[in-house]
Amino acid sequence: MKKNYMIELEIPPASRELTDLQKAVSLAVAECTVQTVDGQQTVDLKAKLDVVVLNPNEDIGGGEEENQEVIENYYRVKSAEVMDEARKIADGSKYEEA
């Protein structure tokens, strides 16, 4: 059983310089228990989103490579959101806006 989920966060800029100890932040913890339709299998999932926040004047260096699967899923979700919004607008007979 494989399902992918996406969370999009907008982090406002810091109003002051962050120290090294303040840069490592745990933004989210998600837990989910899923049971199959027949009730034969239960899967417990747990994930944690940890990030390192940089000050505006810091360079990320080489950083990590982009994850193509993450990028594809991001655009898949964004496309679905745009199509859903266009459908809602069209359902309201606002065809020019859609």
Domain co-membership, 47 together with 72: no
Please indicate, yes or no, whether the overall pTM of this predicted structure exceeds 0.85: no
Domain co-membership, 51 together with 3: yes
Domain co-membership, 3 together with 51: yes
pLDDT tens digits, one per residue of 4-45:
667 777 888 778 888 888 888 888 888 989 888 898 999 898
Domain count across the chain: 2
Domain co-membership, 97 together with 73: yes
Residue type, 68: Q
Contacts of 36 (CB under 8 A, 6+ apart): 1, 42
Domain interval for residue 20: 1-56
Residue type, 49: L
Domain co-membership, 21 together with 49: yes
Please give the helix or strand (H or E) that residue 42 lies within, else none: strand 42-52
